[in-house]
Amino acid sequence: MQERKANTNNVRFEQGPKWVRVLLGGQFVADSKRVFNLSTGGTPRYCFPMEDVRMELLEPTGISEDTQTGRVSYFTVKAGNSVAEKGAWTWTQPPPAAPELKGCIGFDWGKMDAWFEEEEEVYGHAHDPYKRIDTLLSPRHIEVFVLGEKVADTRNAVILYEGVSRPRYYLPRTDVRQDLLVPSDRTTVCAYKGRANYFSIKVGDRFAENIIWYYRYPADEVLKIAGRLAFYSENVDAFHIDGQKEEWPIGIGIRP
């Protein structure tokens, strides 16, 4: 990936080598092998040269506003039988760190039907080219206490390291108290790991809602965590690692 711009306002703007396509209503509304990746410190997003967008499917809304990434004007996207109100925008006044954004097109991720990098569908949001995830088998002794009960005890965890965020410990299901697990309807999607399902824990008439998540079918890069259970360690009574309570600075943590 070739870095184009960066500045002290935490704007990162780069053109990458990936082939990225956006699907709506059975049609590819954007198709580019020279897509830009824009980040302002949060979720990255893809930006397309106007020449690589089906502009005849975009209708101006007349709505403009200032955003964290500059001033934008919105479009309604109509493709097939699908209509995405304010589903796309163009930068009329891009941030100083990324003047090349002027005239580029961005799309609302959730309003599109699907996104593809090469031939693989991408979920959740654009991938950050600087994001690294490691999954490592570990013999550390992990003990988890919830609602006054010891609910997990293992020496066979997989630790998932995601940048500088709080490590997450994925435990064998057989090392977690099955009699306390209550299936949840909650699901979430991670762009790097896949779709997560949840369990709550019930002790007597008390519940710890959605305190466990797991991936039935995780992305290939993190297959080691398939079927294993991870706890929101910051929300349990205690999370012990080799007999020591886990301690992390307030505000550090990741969600599934």
Question: Which of 66, 97, 122 delimits the end of a domain?
Answer: 122
β partners of residue 21: 31, 116
Instruction: Tell me if 251 is assigned to some domain.
Output: no
Q: Are 138 and 118 within one domain?
A: no
As a residue count, the chain comes to: 256
Q: Residues 190-225: pLDDT tens digits?
A: 988 999 999 999 999 999 999 999 999 999 889 999
Please give the tally of structural domains in the chain. 2
In-domain check, residue 127: no
- Provide the CATH number for the domain around residue 239: 2.170.150.40
Domain ranges, residue 109: 2-122
- CA gap 105, 13 in Å, rounded: 14
In a domain, 250, yes or no: no
Q: Please list, in sequence order, all residues whose beta carbon lies within 8 angstroms of the beta carbon of residue 58, skipping any fewer than 6 positions away.
A: 29, 75, 76, 77, 88, 105
- Predicted pLDDT at 256: 61
pTM for this prediction: 0.74
If asked whether residues 84 and 181 sit together in one domain, one would say: no
Residue 126 is encoded by which pair of tokens?
């654009």
pLDDT at 255: 52
Q: Is residue 255 part of a domain?
A: no
- The verdict on 94 and 182 lying in the same domain is no
Q: Write the single-letter amino acid at 208.
A: A
Q: Please check the confidence at residue 248 and state whether its pLDDT lies above 80.
A: no
